[in-house]
Amino acid sequence: MSRAKLPRKSTNIDMTAMCDVAFLLLSFFILTTKFKPAEAITVTTPSSVASKVAPDKDIVLITIDKNGKVFLGLDDEDIKGAMVDIINKQKNLSLDANAFKKAEFYGTPFSQLPQFLKIPKEDLKGDALPGIPVDSTKGPNELIEWMGVIHTAYENSGGKKINILLKGDNDSKYPSFDAVVKALKKNDFLKFQMVTNPEAVPVGSDLYKQPREDEGKK
């Protein structure tokens, strides 16, 4: 009895399927990646060895752009609603509460706020705005008042957490930073976080020698 001869199979594998999978995954990743939204204020942050990821909820974001202009942004609409009431009362402005809530950041002196809120979102560019005045040599540091308003708004919110983030540009000068820190101190915000890019811990430094878990405490 002769054995049935098995036909020789080619060792070539059809790559089409694998290729399909690869590109399916690729398109999945491209589509799900959250691209950085085009920011109204362009800021290049410095880098640090801090390994804690910046919070993205309940934030008060103070931005310093490269010219030292200061902007303030919040994400919580309830807080913004409380803020607009306080500002209207304190400053005798009749701000549109809805427009105030919709605005992602504020970057003008109080006196120009009504006009500022009328600017459509697409046209808001950090370069064209004056920023919140902080230079105490040229006038009052209005950020102190802003932070005061935020402080009151958070106190009345019934124990909401507050994360103060400071996002400064590499090239901004120290006085702006100093003014922001002073404004925070004045309102008893003694803890804040600075947004940075991650950086590797230099080999051989004291932090490098420390066990990993100690780093989290800082």
Q: Give every CB contact of residue 60 below 8 A, 6+ residues apart in sequence.
A: 72, 73, 74, 150, 162, 163, 164, 165
Q: Is 201 in the site for another protein (CB under 8 A)?
A: yes
The piece of 84-92, 143-151, 154-162, 205-213 that touches another protein (CB under 8 A) is 205-213
Task: Please give the radius of gyration of the chain, using alpha carbons only, rounded to the nearest integer.
Answer: 26
Per rule CB under 8 A, count of chain residues that contact another protein: 60
Q: Give every CB contact of residue 78 below 8 A, 6+ residues apart in sequence.
A: 157
CA distance 185 to 190: 6
Q: Is 192 in the site for another protein (CB under 8 A)?
A: yes
Q: Is 38 in the site for another protein (CB under 8 A)?
A: no
For another protein, give the closer residue by CB, 22 or 156.
22
The piece of 97-105, 140-148, 152-160, 172-180 that touches another protein (CB under 8 A) is 172-180
Q: Is 170 in the site for another protein (CB under 8 A)?
A: yes
Binding mask 114-153 for another protein (x = CB under 8 A): ----------------------------------------
Cβ of residue 173: shortest distance to another protein, in angstroms? Answer: 6
Q: Is 154 in the site for another protein (CB under 8 A)?
A: no
Specify burial of residue 14 (Cβ count, 10 A radius: 0-12, 13-18, 19+): exposed
For another protein, give the closer residue by CB, 98 or 170.
170
* Closest residue by Cα to residue 170 from 82, 64, 96: 64
Task: Determine how β-strand 47-48 pairs with β-strand 163-168.
Answer: unpaired
